[in-house]
A and B are shown apart, each in its own frame.
Chain A
Amino acid sequence: MKIGIGTPGTSHTLSADFVKEYARRADAAGFSTITHLDRVVYSNHDTLIALTTMAAVTTRIRLQTSVLLTPLRSAALVAKQAATLDVISGGRLTLGMAVGSRREDYSVAGTDPSDRGKRFDEQLALMHRIWAGEAPLDGVLPMGPTPVQPGGPQVLIGGRVPVALRRVAKWGAGYVTGAVFSADTARAIYEQVVVNWHEAGREGMPRFMGTLACAIGEEQAQRTAESIDHYYHYRGPVQRGGPAPANVATSDSRNNIPSNIAAIREVLKACEAIGMDEVVVRPGVEEIDQVDKLSELL
């Protein structure tokens, strides 16, 4: 099972030097992927801009949005930006995508949250047409650049509702969990993804990626828990009435942020046992040496 690393994006605005050095160390240490999260009304750097900065100073590591809230954005612009980043990074981009559910993000983006699921489906279709070099719409010329990865960047889908899981089989290479999850829930979700995958007649198996909030050090783990809490409750509780967000944490799992290599290894073993191909370890503290300490897992 591969091990990736996430930027501590849940409660900090990171400096340019930090972002670059974090990516350089992760690349050199041998992590498989580096991820950055997406929110609008939040202090994080824009996901694609941050990943591009990391792409420019690394040569090997894959770069992943985790996850990009696509219906907040124009699909054509995302397609162009993602294709550009795929070219600049030499084909290292993975787009983790989901719908997101925070009304204030939709308000600032100026898009309608009520039909976000339907729009996301249309967006996935449009992006794939653009990446394939087809006309985005009738009577409009194709648009570039051509991504390095044939057909576009690898797509992973997040979310929990049935319609989200069906998107994996239709558009994705696999499924990505949120930052805190229980093995039982993740396994149940993935089993459904596999059923959909086979029903859709796709060959092989969908990729299965987990995200694990963790940190090295008791105090760092505590602050990671707080940062997740801050992130998920930044502007009050998640909106009701829509699908549950992909990665809402239970309070119980927030209290169980693993804080040393042995404890993290134990969780990783559980992840591997339920069939995960890759897990991203994500500390929530702005300490550059977390990369070095976590690289003991490799």
Chain B
Amino acid sequence: MEWARRADAAGFSSLSLLDRLVYDNFDPLITLTAAAAVTERIRLMTAILLVPLHSAGILAKETASLDALSNGRLTLGVGVGNRKDDFLVAGTTHGDRGRRFDDQLAMMKRIWAGEDAGDGVGPVGPAPVQAGGPPLIFGGRSERALQRIAKWGQGYVTGSVSDVPGARATFDIAERVWREAGRAGKPLFVGSLTCAIGEAEAQATADAGQRYYSYQGGRPANAPGQPGSSPAANAATTPSTAAAILEKLKECEAAGMDEVFVRFAGVTNPDQVDRLAEAVL
């Protein structure tokens, strides 16, 4: 909570949190709710919430409640997720998660709009503060994933942007799909940048990244180089000084990003928030 207070006071635009089940992380919605209660201004964002692990009806109610209790400060970064152990433990099916995700998005939108949730049960409640529900931004790289932005969302959020040109290439497809769907304006382009101030802190962040991306069956030590492990999850590409972070942010801005999350992990000292604020704001 001290983290959240400092980030709010320092002027960061949003506070984001990731979602995993079979992992040591805090639940993102509960943690963002606690952060919301002690902050006034900062937006709260999941980055990203793995929707098919959840019941769409319950998730719609939880997120509407958080939106109401934060006075409309919630943004939902959402995606399908991939880790089989998460699905197994959640008790949901893995094979049809993409199709289910589409059905879930439709149901959540109905619930947020105060419409019948299905089967004639009527509206669910509570009403979110943001009309129509919290904005949705999508992670993922497949064309199908990017089409969901045009259909349901406001924008695209990257994984950790070690490869800015690659992220831009994906965003180009998102923009094309957006135009093809006949939507006005542009999708939001949000990046997350894994970084930390200090060599040791950057190392801790990189180590945490490797642990996070280790898939089921893979012990942390097996993770690097596994398919799907993050290209950013190593110390060499984790910026550790204010200058290196600023350079990376400049590159992100040049690529057209509207907002970038500076994200650290494995470091629990709230001073990191102040040091990052001093460096980048």
Contacts and interface: CB of A to CB of B under 8 A. Distances in A.
B66 to A, nearest CB: 5
B89 interface: yes
Contact of A43 (B33, B54, B126): B126
Given A16-B70, A45-B65, A56-B1, A72 B125 contact: no
B244 interface: no
Interface string A227-248: 0000000010000000000000
B58 A40 contact: yes
B62 A46 contact: yes
Interface stretch (B16-24, B192-200, B257-265): B16-24
Contact of B30 (A49, A110, A136, A141): A49
A76 B37 contact: no
Contacts of B26: 84, 87-88, 145
A134 to B, nearest CB: 12
Contacts of B226: none
B225 interface: no
A95 interface: no
A53 B88 contact: no
Contacts of A111: 55
Contacts of A192: none
A261 interface: no
Given A46-B62, A50-B69, A140-B89, A107 B36 contact: no
Contacts of A74: 53-55, 90-92
Interface in A76-122: 76-77, 80-81, 83-85, 87-88, 104, 107-111
Interface footprint category on A: 35 or more
B29 interface: yes
Contacts of A87: 26
Residue of B27, B36, B54, B119 contacting most chain A CB atoms (<10 Å):
B27
Nearest to A234: B122
A10 to B, nearest CB: 13
Q: Which of A45, A46, A74, A83 has the most CB of B within 10 A?
A: A46
Contacts, number: 152
A136 B27 contact: no
Contacts of B140: none
A75 interface: yes
Contacts of B55: 72-74, 109-111
Nearest to A146: B24
B56 interface: yes
A46 B63 CA distance: 9
A49 B69 contact: yes
Given A49-B29, A141-B216, A77 B37 contact: no
Given A52-B37, A73-B58, A43 B27 contact: no
B126 A19 contact: no
A235 B121 CA distance: 8
Given A45-B69, A73-B58, A76-B91, A104 B121 contact: yes
A55 interface: yes
A81 B29 contact: yes
A49 B67 CA distance: 10
Contacts of B56: 110
A239 to B, nearest CB: 13
B272 interface: no
Interface of A: 13, 15-16, 19-20, 40-46, 48-50, 52-53, 55-57, 72-77, 80-81, 83-85, 87-88, 104, 107-111, 136-137, 140-141, 143-145, 235
